[in-house]
Every structure is written in C-alpha cells, then in structure tokens.
Structure 1
Amino acid sequence: MRALAVTVWVFINLLFFGMCGYMYLLWSQYWLNSDKDLESSTNNYDQQIYLYNRGFLVNDSSKYDDTSTSEIKNRIKHSSSSIDNITVVRNSKPRFPNVQKSEFIFDSKNFVCKSNDSKIACNEKTQSFKDKLINEMKRVFLDEGNVLKPGGKDNSYNVNYQGPRENYMEKSQNHMLCELRNVKIDTIQRRDVPSKLNSFKGYFPNKGIFEDVQFKSCAVISSAGSFTLSGSGRRIDSYEVVLRFNNAPTKGFEIDVGQKTTIRIVNSQVMSKQEFDFLRAAVFRNVTILGWDPSNYTSTVEEWFQNPEYNLFPNYIGYKRMFPESEIYIMNPQSIWKVWDFLQSNSPNRLRRNPPSSGFLGITLLLSHCDFVDAYEYIPSVRITKRCHYYEPENNQACTFGVWHPLAAEKLLTYYMNEADDRTVFQDGYVRIPGFNKLNC
C-alpha cells in the first residue's frame, strides 16, 4: 500500500513538472513569434557581415578598448548603414538557456609560455588552454543545432540536406581528408556562363584557379585579433603561397602578419559595395582574387547568374577591363554547398544552414594544390582576444566561435585533421594539414 502511494506521488510530481515545462515552452515560443514583426527583411548574409566584421550595435561604444572618440564615431558611421534592422532580443522575455553556460575567458595571458617556463610548465599551460577552448567550441557546436533559440529555424538558402550525419570522431584523420578530397572547389569558367550572357563570356577564364599547379608550402592567414603581438610575420612570408581574406591589410602589421600575399578570397559584399572600393583599393592589386557569393542550396549556376545575392559581376568585369592580365576568378556557388554538405555529413547535430566561412573554403581550396597547408589563428591560440580583427578595434567573441557561419563545427573538424603538435597549434598559432597529394586513399 505504501509503495502504491509513493508511486502515485512520484507520478503526480512528474506530471506537474512536465506541465510546467510545456507551459514554459509555449510561453517562450509565443514571445519568440511575437517579435517577428520587428525582424529585419534584410538578408541574413547582410547581418553576418555586420556581426562578423563590425562587432556591435551602433550605440554600444563601451565595447571599445582604448579607442578615441573620433575613431568610435568613424567606426559607427561606417557600420550604421548595415545595421538599421538588426533585431535586439529583449532579456526580459523568456528564452531557453544554453545547456552549458560559457565559462571561456578571453584576453587571458595565463596560458602563454614564457621564456623561463620549463617544458612541463609550458605543456600544462597549453593543455589547460586547449581543454577550455575545445570545450567552448563543443558547447557552441551543440548550441548551433538548437531550433528553439532565436534564428534557430532560419533557412534563407532553402537548404534541404538529406545525407548522413556521422561523427567525425569515429573516423581516422586520413579518412576525413580522403572524404574532403572529393569536395573540389570549382571556379566559374567560360563554358559555365549562360548563353543569355554570351557577351560576357570573354571575361571568364578557360581554366580553373591553380589548375594543374602544385605548391610546396601554403599558409592561410585569418584576420583574427589574436595576431596582435604574435611576431608571426617572418614565418608567414616564407611560404610559397599566402592566402588572405577580403580587405585585410598588411601595411603597418608586417611584424605580426607578414607582407606577402598570393591570393585573396573576397566575398561578394566586399566586391560589390562602394565602401570597400574594390576596383581601386591597393590590397586588391597584383594578387590572385577569388570572389564568392552564395546561391540557394538547390540553385543551378544559371539561376544564380540571374539572381546573385550580391551582384559582384559588374565589379568583376570592371576589374578585368582595368587589369586584363589579372588572375581573378569567381567560385562556383555549388562548390560552396558541397563543402557545407561535407561538414554536415560529419556532424551528428544539425548545423546552421548558412554557407561555410571563407576560412574553411580557403583551406579546402589549397589542400588540392599544396603539399601542406598551415592555417594561422584559424584555431585560436593562447593570444585569443575578443577583438574581431587585428586591424580593427571592435570586440565580439562571435568572430571566433561563430554567429552565422558554422564556425565551431569547421574548427573542431579542422583541429581533428591537423597533424601539428598542441604546442605548435596553441602557442605558435597554426595548424598543419597534409595536402591531398600526400594521402593514401
């Protein structure tokens, strides 16, 4: 009789707490949906450029460190046109919290190996930092698949993935690289241009980027704030190929990031928007340019030509007219989604349904043409900071762990494919991935 009473009591409590949880879910979703009339009609990619490159809302000047008032006003003016419609989530409304709360500490010098540290002490610092960083990336990775969080249901590219969702941890490094080798980064060639645009075919090359070319050493240089005081410039300049992104400068930062640039991967906003001055800015001269613009997940190349997200074609053609001998290419948008498919097929959780980052696209591209690829500050080193870029003062940790691209998944997988030791990765600041020509598949 007593056992029956206890059973009934447990059942009633479970029912009560279950009902409370269900009511909380309904309440949360009500407020989430009630905000929809405030949401921006601006494309998510536009918000990404703001969040990833600008770092904070217009009036939030408190996030600058040691920045003059005139500098702040200049930055705000530069970014304000892109953020008028950014949605602000009110803290007073209920939201399901993350399963794990972030405890990661930025701007800490406690993990940097000093000249008087013993090898054991340095290894302990490195291991401690590694554990904290990997745990934070895993937390973000799990959180990306949360459909209940704001933006968790976004699918502006109509992604309809039907493939497997396997765990990369259950595969060998060689197996992962062999899978990635099948994901080729193609560029638009003359034969790909739709017949309706025959007059523009002459501006497109007959060959793909780096076709039939192999390099010994290649470096992918992120724009991370953790480059500051790294002293990596001389080592970076020693590589045969150095890849940089968008309008990241080298002048004035040579000690930390080097001065050599072989190729730049440039997104369609930087290519098309007037403030980046693509046709005149010095950083886009005398280098190979690879532009990219995302299509819908199922769009054909012809459909994308007719309706790019940002119209990069006028400046692409303008560049070819100004510099007829230049090496400028546009990435096939279908390649972008093949890379995303690779990420999702090796991630048991649902990824953000947005294109991969330029960083992971660049790594994938070079692995086909290099004996090895060293990616600098793509996996953050012990110099990690909230600062988005080494050349700008904005602070936003989303630049490191992701706000739009599936960055956490990319970085976890990249670290898994890395063959450098942890001291190189987390103290020196780069991972090393063997080129596809070195694989035994």
Structure 2
Amino acid sequence: MRCFTITITIFINLMFFAICSYMYLLWSQYWTYQNKNDFATSTYDQQIYLYNRGYLPEETNNKSNIAKLRSKHALRENIIYVNNSRPRIPGIPKDILELDTNKYVCFKNETHLLCREKNKKFRNKLLTELENTFFEQSHVLRYGGRNNTYNVHYVGPKENFRNKPANQVLCELMNTKLETLKRSDIDASEPIKSSMPKRAFFENKHFNSCVVVASSGALKDSNLGRFIDSHDIVLRFNHAPTKGFETDVGKKTSVRVLNSQVVTRPQYQFLKSTLYKNVTLVIWDPSNYSASLEEWMRNPEYNFFPNFIQYRKQEERPRIYMVNPLTIWDLWDFLQRNFPEKLRKNPPSSGFLGLRLLLPHCDFVDIVEYIPSVRVTSRCHYYDPDTNKACTFGVWHPLAAEKLLTYHINEAADMDVFQKGFIRVKGFKHLKC
C-alpha cells in the first residue's frame, strides 16, 4: 500500500511538471509569435525596414519599382522586428540605464568627488547596458543563422578584444581595408567607369584634428557646436542638418557619409538639396558577403549609380566617392574576429565606417555622442522628435559591439566621454605596431 501511494505521488508530480513545461512552451511560442508580428511605427524602424526591403511599410511589393530597388537580398514577406532591441532572455535584467534624466550630470556647484562618483556610476550602467544588449542580440536561439540576408559565412577566429591592449586592437583595425573605388578599379565594360574619380578619398592628404558627428538625440542641448567646428575635418551622416542647430552641432561640414537609400530615394532630394553641395560625399551600399565587385555593380542594394553619374555631371567640382562594398565586410570581419560571441550578420553602422575612413588621414579622430553621454535619450536624432531606444543600442547593425570595442580603443578621459560627450581615437600615423 505504501509503495502504491509513493508511485501515485510520483506520477502526479511528473504529470504536474509535464503540464507546466507544456504551458511554458506554449507561452514562449506565443510571445515569439508576438515578436514576429509586432510592427514598430517609429521613423528608425521604418528606416530599417527601408534598408532591408526597399519600400515603406505602407507600400506594396507588387510595384514595378520595387524589383529595381531590391532583388538580390529580398527577404520573406514576414519581416521580424526586434522592438527596442530587447528580446526576452531569462536572467538578464532590464532597464539598467535610465534615459532622459539629468541625475548623472555634473553641475557647477557640486564637488569634484561627487562629480566623479556620478560619472563612474553612469559609466558602469552604460557599459552594462551595452554588454547586455550585445549578449541578447548574439543569443543563438534568437538569432542563430536565421536572418542572414547577406549570406555571411565567417570562418575566422573569434577572439576577445577585452583581453588585448588597445594598441593591438587599433593595429588590427589599421590592417583592415575600407577603400573607395577609383576609375582604375572598374572594368572597361561598366558604363560608370568614366564617371569614377581618378583618386581615392583623401588620397595623399593628412590633417591634424578630425571629428565624426553622430546624429544622436543626445546632441540636443549639448552646446558642442564650437568644439565640433574647431576641428580641421568635420564628418556628418546622411541628411543630418546644421541650420538651426549650430549651437549643438556646429555649422562646418567637410564630409558627408551617405547610405545608398539617401542617394536614391526622392524625399532626400540628393541632386537638389544644398546639404550635398560643396562638400565631399562618400556613398556606401552593401554587397553580398562573398560577391565580386562585378556582381555588386550589376545588382546593388540600391541602384544609386544614375544619381552618382548625374551628380558628377551637374557639379562644377564634384568630390564624390563610393566605398568598395567588399571592404565593408572586411571591417565586419574585424569586429567578429574580436568577439567570441556571434555578431549580427549585417554591415557595420555608418558611424563605424566614418571612423575607419578618417583614421588613416588624421592625427586623431574625435567621435561625438557615439558612445552615449549622460545626456543619453530615447530620442533618435537631434533634429527630429522620434523616440526609440534601439537608435542608441542597436537593432540592425552590430552597434553595441561597435561601441564596446570603440570605447576600448578610446584615449579620452571618462569625464570627457560621459560628461562632455566625445571619445578620441589615435590616428594610424602614430601607431607603433
């Protein structure tokens, strides 16, 4: 009788455990389904949608222009959005870092000791947030090989940048390629050959101070305009304006790095807007990971070539370049080589591309509000009110990984990084490798 009672008890417990496990699986599947169908409406998410699909969410994919914009890397119809870059993974705390607060800002009436303590606390919270975001995004069950739009198959080593001196990581970065295409790189059969520049970007040129200006919402009310304009070279991105924002972002623009959708889509008025006049332009468009240059030119992500040619014709002294897309993946390989975890199989961000473009030509490069300061905000850009935490911590590019590594090679003091809002990276000319 006693054995029978024990058996029944064990059986009931096992049944209860099985039912609970089954309910957990159902619940997990439900929330996974919710994730896949949770469409964000923010400008930033629409830009990600744009980048992956070639059309806005309200457009349909049976329009004739869609095939022209995107055919090579077309995804399935059910687009997976990762809202706010916060997938549910047990054991990882959420909301480590408060946004849109001045609790970590150092005020003039505070003691130096209190200021340093506040700054240290913010630094630790920010780095923890970046680490958590990165580990979430690299979680194999969520991202392992499913969304491989560019057919990335990395087979190299996976080391840990945290175990290397900053100088060693910088030397590795110097040994990567990020090049612009010259006329001599293009096959004679390509119609665009005659429109290509004879020289590469900043060929045989060197400058003392350079600055990369992120378009971050944290630049609002930063009063960094004068600091930015004090640099010899000022690099900005896409259609980020200066007019009306001079106090915070300055008024000088030397270089604009543009992704190819800005050059092709009518709303950006690439051939008419004064934003793209009397300035050096560098356009980038990603290729398939293993594609040849010829394959990419026959089928780019966005066909910006007609506007590239027209710009060269209409401007009196055009300074316009395009990045060799094969070298973009060389930069991605560098990132993956320095992380033991999996990276998102998407190209590096424009910010990281901009940094790598300038490092060979500058004694040092400052990057403003790339690593978030105490002004960190849910606001995506300083020039529009749209909010989305993913703008800061990443949702499509391997942004969290980029920022962790860039902070590792930074030379600026933590007070400059987190209170003022810039990091400083030594130019390649001064490296001893």
Structures share fold, TM-score greater than 0.5: yes
The amino acid across from 1:110 in the alignment is K
Is 2:184 the partner of 1:186?
A: no
Residue in structure 2 matched with residue 174 of structure 1 by the alignment: 167
- After superposition, the C-alpha distances for 1:138-191 in whole angstroms (9 at most, x for unaligned) are 000101112333797200100000011111010000000000001121111112
Contact 2:218 2:369 in 1 (8 A): yes
Q: Aligned partners of 2:14, 2:156: CA distance in 1, in Å?
A: 37
- After superposition, the C-alpha distances for 1:17-44 in whole angstroms (9 at most, x for unaligned) are 79966885587468858998x799xxxx
Residues 13 and 265 (structure 1), Cα distance of their counterparts in 2 relative to 1, 3 Å cut: farther
Residue in structure 2 matched with residue 135 of structure 1 by the alignment: 128
Considering only aligned residues, what root-mean-square deviation do their CA atoms show, in Å?
Answer: 3.2
Residue in structure 2 matched with residue 257 of structure 1 by the alignment: 249
Q: Aligned partners of 2:229, 2:159: CA distance in 1, in Å?
A: 38
**Residue of 145, 163, 167 corresponding to 2:138:** 145
Q: Normalising to structure 2: TM-score of the pair?
A: 0.84
1:16 offset after TM fit, Å?
8.8
- After superposition, the C-alpha distances for 1:83-107 in whole angstroms (9 at most, x for unaligned) are 997857799xxx8535413222100
Say which SS state the counterpart of residue 244 (structure 1) adopts: strand
Is 2:413 the partner of 1:421?
A: yes
Q: Aligned partners of 1:157, 1:21: CA distance in 2, in Å?
A: 37
Say which SS state the counterpart of residue 196 (structure 1) adopts: coil
Contact 2:364 2:425 in 1 (8 A): yes
Q: Aligned partners of 2:221, 2:59: CA distance in 1, in Å?
A: 31
Residues 99 and 194 (structure 1), Cα distance of their counterparts in 2 relative to 1, 3 Å cut: farther
Residue in structure 1 matched with residue 71 of structure 2 by the alignment: none
1:356 offset after TM fit, Å?
0.3
**Residue of 254, 267, 272 corresponding to 2:264:** 272
The amino acid across from 2:326 in the alignment is Q
Q: Normalising to structure 1: TM-score of the pair?
A: 0.83
Unaligned segments of structure 2, at least 5 residues: 1-8, 50-54, 62-76
Q: Aligned partners of 1:98, 1:140: CA distance in 2, in Å?
A: 13
Say which SS state the counterpart of residue 382 (structure 1) adopts: coil
Residues 189-208 of structure 1: matches in 2 within 5 Å? 189-197=182-190, 199-208=191-200
1:201 offset after TM fit, Å?
1.2
The amino acid across from 1:377 in the alignment is E
- After superposition, the C-alpha distances for 1:254-305 in whole angstroms (9 at most, x for unaligned) are 0000000000000000010011110011111110000000000000111000
Say which SS state the counterpart of residue 211 (structure 2) adopts: strand
Is 2:317 the partner of 1:337?
A: no
Residue in structure 1 matched with residue 45 of structure 2 by the alignment: 51
The amino acid across from 1:356 in the alignment is P
Residue in structure 2 matched with residue 377 of structure 1 by the alignment: 369
Contact 2:44 2:380 in 1 (8 A): no
1:410 offset after TM fit, Å?
0.1
Contact 1:250 1:257 in 2 (8 A): yes
Q: Aligned partners of 1:385, 1:162: CA distance in 2, in Å?
A: 37
Residue in structure 2 matched with residue 440 of structure 1 by the alignment: 432
1:15 offset after TM fit, Å?
12
**Residue of 274, 279, 284 corresponding to 1:287:** 279
Residue in structure 2 matched with residue 111 of structure 1 by the alignment: 104
The worse-fitting range, judged by mean Cα deviation, of 356-365 and 206-215 is 206-215
Contact 1:112 1:382 in 2 (8 A): yes
Q: Aligned partners of 1:177, 1:15: CA distance in 2, in Å?
A: 57
Say which SS state the counterpart of residue 363 (structure 1) adopts: helix
Residue in structure 2 matched with residue 247 of structure 1 by the alignment: 239
Is 2:345 the partner of 1:353?
A: yes
Residues 173 and 150 (structure 1), Cα distance of their counterparts in 2 relative to 1, 3 Å cut: closer
**Residue of 201, 211, 219 corresponding to 2:203:** 211
Residue in structure 1 matched with residue 382 of structure 2 by the alignment: 390
Q: Aligned partners of 1:168, 1:369: CA distance in 2, in Å?
A: 24
| Identical-residue share of aligned pairs (%) | 49
Q: Aligned partners of 2:31, 2:118: CA distance in 1, in Å?
A: 44
Residues 121 and 86 (structure 1), Cα distance of their counterparts in 2 relative to 1, 3 Å cut: farther
Say which SS state the counterpart of residue 388 (structure 1) adopts: strand
Say which SS state the counterpart of residue 149 (structure 1) adopts: helix
Contact 1:96 1:149 in 2 (8 A): no
**Residue of 350, 359, 367 corresponding to 1:367:** 359
Residue in structure 1 matched with residue 67 of structure 2 by the alignment: none
The worse-fitting range, judged by mean Cα deviation, of 168-177 and 182-191 is 182-191
Is 2:328 the partner of 1:311?
A: no
Unaligned segments of structure 1, at least 5 residues: 1-8, 41-46, 56-77
Say which SS state the counterpart of residue 127 (structure 2) adopts: helix
Residue in structure 1 matched with residue 156 of structure 2 by the alignment: 163
Is 2:227 the partner of 1:229?
A: no
Say which SS state the counterpart of residue 290 (structure 1) adopts: strand
Residues 21 and 313 (structure 1), Cα distance of their counterparts in 2 relative to 1, 3 Å cut: farther
Residues 79 and 319 (structure 1), Cα distance of their counterparts in 2 relative to 1, 3 Å cut: same
Q: Aligned partners of 1:309, 1:159: CA distance in 2, in Å?
A: 15
Say which SS state the counterpart of residue 393 (structure 1) adopts: strand
